Structure 1
Amino acid sequence: MRESVLWSLIVVFVPFSLVSIGGGPSIFAGIQHQSVEVYHWVTAREFVDLFAIARAAPGPGSMLVTLLGWKVAGWTGAIVATLALFVPSSLLCYAVTKMWNHYRGRHWHTALEEGLAPIGAGLILAGVFAVFRIAGAGIMSWAVAGISAAILAWRPKLNPLILLAGGAVAFAFWHGM
């Protein structure tokens, strides 16, 4: 039984590792779907809680996978899930980087780089929608996220901590301090 759970972690997270264009947030929607709806490893509420812990803890937000692995199969699951997510993409990235730099400056190289940017943005947006949906985010959450995204699009060099503080103030006023 334990081997099948560990194998399931590998089967789920290795493909996500290889398609995580835009980083960890780009695969959160798929991870949520697999861990909550397909494999039933955690409930929607547990997923949101683990997501919050992963985002609050230092390190990459994709450490959510480590927490899911731990929840499913203890320390062994945490290690297996983490390695399944980080090792394949790291090896692929290393190999692609070696080749990528060789072809830098060619027209197809530039077109490919520019074409992948909206794909990464779309995947990240899908992750945001998935987390907001299962968290039961209200109108205030959507408004703060939308306004923050618009401000960052308009002023990309603005420190995001300013927006975080503004969101905290908005929520404080919304909930009556």
Structure 2
Amino acid sequence: MSTYLQLIVLFGSLSLMSIGGGNAVLPDMHLRSVHQHHWLSDTQFADLFSISQTAPGPSILIVGMIGYAAGLPVGGVLGGIVGGFVATAAMVIPAASLVYAITLFWQRAQESKWRIAVEKGFAPLTVGLILASSLVMSRAADHDWRAYLLTAVCTLIFVRSKVNPLIVVAAAGVIGYFGIV
């Protein structure tokens, strides 16, 4: 199967499962792009995730970067650019189409008991998917006890305080820059 078709199948299917945003399907994205298709290594995936989260714009930027990495062997830089566009379109178009169709129905079912039940059920589902994403990223990025400790400390700061996350991220970046982790 061609790389571009693999990108369409992968991100088209992930698009329809990304309840709560693109980060909710990060574990499957990691599994398939690193271990199944071998477009990236664990470290490259963690690096792309970090870049996509710190860059301005939507968190789904990682999809374009994975598509770029997948397309490089096919056609160099131009193949990478095409791969980035293909992956991004495959991730956005199915979900956007489904959301549009569901919104039309959802507006008519405003007082339905099913609607209320579905809305209450999505909250724990989304939290679970995001926790799974956090675990996968920690395993991909952390390779010794110091990195696990830094991840745990940052998580505690995020959960227990109102410190601006950018300060925590900057501090962790400085720690990584100086080779402490």
- The alignment partner of 1:138 has SS state of helix
Matches within 5 A, 1:111-150: 111-136=117-142, 137-150=147-160
Q: Partner of 2:56 in structure 1?
A: 58
Q: Between Structure 1 and Structure 2, how many residues are aligned?
A: 166
Structure 1 residue 60: Cα displacement: 0.9
Structure 1 residue 165: Cα displacement: 2.1
Matches within 5 A, 1:23-42: 23-42=21-40
Structure 1 spans left out of the alignment, 5+ residues: 152-157
- In 2: Cα distance, 1:169 partner to 1:43 partner: 26
- In 2: Cα distance, 1:123 partner to 1:146 partner: 19
Normalised to the residue count of structure 2, the TM-score between the two structures is: 0.83
Give the 3 Å change call, closer, same or farther, for CA 96–34 of structure 1 in structure 2: same
Note the alpha carbon deviations across 1:79-131, whole angstroms, 9 max, x for none: 11000000000000000001001101222111110101110111111111111
Q: Return the structure number with greater relative CO, CA threshold 8 A, min gap 6.
A: 1
Q: Partner of 2:167 in structure 1?
A: 165
- In 1: Cα distance, 2:6 partner to 2:44 partner: 19
Matches within 5 A, 1:89-108: 89-108=95-114
- In 2: Cα distance, 1:41 partner to 1:150 partner: 37
- In 2: Cα distance, 1:47 partner to 1:169 partner: 22
- In 1: Cα distance, 2:172 partner to 2:88 partner: 36
Identity level (%): 34
Q: Which amino acid aligns with 1:72?
A: A
Give the 3 Å change call, closer, same or farther, for CA 170–70 of structure 1 in structure 2: closer
- In 2: Cα distance, 1:102 partner to 1:28 partner: 33
Give the 3 Å change call, closer, same or farther, for CA 91–143 of structure 1 in structure 2: same
Structure 1 residue runs of 4 or more that deviate by more than 6 Å after TM superposition? 170-176
Normalised to the residue count of structure 1, the TM-score between the two structures is: 0.85
Structure 2 spans left out of the alignment, 5+ residues: 72-79
- On the 8 A contact 1:140/1:171 being kept in 2, the answer is no
- In 1: Cα distance, 2:38 partner to 2:168 partner: 36
- In 1: Cα distance, 2:157 partner to 2:51 partner: 24
- In 1: Cα distance, 2:82 partner to 2:120 partner: 39
- In 2: Cα distance, 1:93 partner to 1:13 partner: 16
Q: Partner of 2:92 in structure 1?
A: 86
Deviates more, 1:55-64 or 1:164-173: 164-173
